[in-house]
Every structure is written in C-alpha cells, then in structure tokens.
Amino acid sequence: MSNENQASLPEPADAYNNLFEGVHANVFFGKLANHGFQPQSEKEAADLLQLAGRLRHVEDNEKAANANHSRFGGALGALEDATGSGAQTAELAESQAIKAAASQLAEDPTIYNSVLSLKAAEAAVLAQQGGN
C-alpha cells in the first residue's frame, strides 16, 4: 500500500466509529423503527444500545443452556438433514442477505476505507507479534 493511500484512511478508532455508526447503529435502530420504537434523545439511543448488548449476552447464555435439553432435538436435526430444510434454509437466506448487505456497504467509500484501516491495523499488530 502506498503512503498516499495510507494517508487517506481513517485512524483505527475513527474507522471503528464509522463502522459502528454507519452499519451497526443503522441496522439496529432501523429494526427498532420497524417495530415502532425510536429513541427520543442521545441518552435513549445509548441506553437502547446498552440494553441490546446485555440482552444478546443473556440470549447467548440461554441458548447454550437450553441447547442440550430437548428430548426431540436429535430427531429434528436428522429430519432437517434429510429434507434440507429448517436451519440450512435459514442459514442460506441469512448468508445471502449478509453478502448483499456487504456488497452494498462496500460501495460507500467511508465504510470501505474504514474496513481497510482496521484490517491494516490488524495486519500491523500481527506482523509485530510475528517479529517478536
């Protein structure tokens, strides 16, 4: 990468904020708006983001705790494997939606340069660790 290209990239902290505000927050608040919820202030927005983070942690723990408690989980999994439906179909749809969103976001120069900046910072850290 030339010095000219490096100079145009945001600092990693700014890049992270660009991605958070340009991608995560837009998706999150868009989903809330679809359900009729809109923050009325910056404080409400911050509180909603904090709630979402904490709820995701609780949900992940709950899923892990309940994952092995179904008497019918094995039969359901075998049926889904045999028919190719259920989780595989949902995973494919999600994968396609993610690819479409990533393609659209890559067209935004701020998002694109922010990703490049974070990847360059990651590569520098890895190179430094490899040199030690």
- CA dist., res. 115 & res. 121, Å (int): 10
What is the average per-residue pLDDT within 82-109?
A: 79
Cβ-in-10-Å burial (0-12, 13-18, 19+) of 114 comes to buried
Q: Which position has the token pair 């995560």?
A: 24
Asked whether residue 91 carries a pLDDT value surpassing 60, the answer given is: yes
**DSSP annotation of 10:** P
The confidence score (pLDDT) of residue 87 equals: 60
pTM of structure: 0.55
Per-residue model confidence as pLDDT tens digits over 51-89: 988 887 776 666 666 656 677 777 777 777 777 666 667
pLDDT category of residue 121 using cuts at 50, 70 and 90? very high
Cβ-in-10-Å burial (0-12, 13-18, 19+) of 48 comes to middle
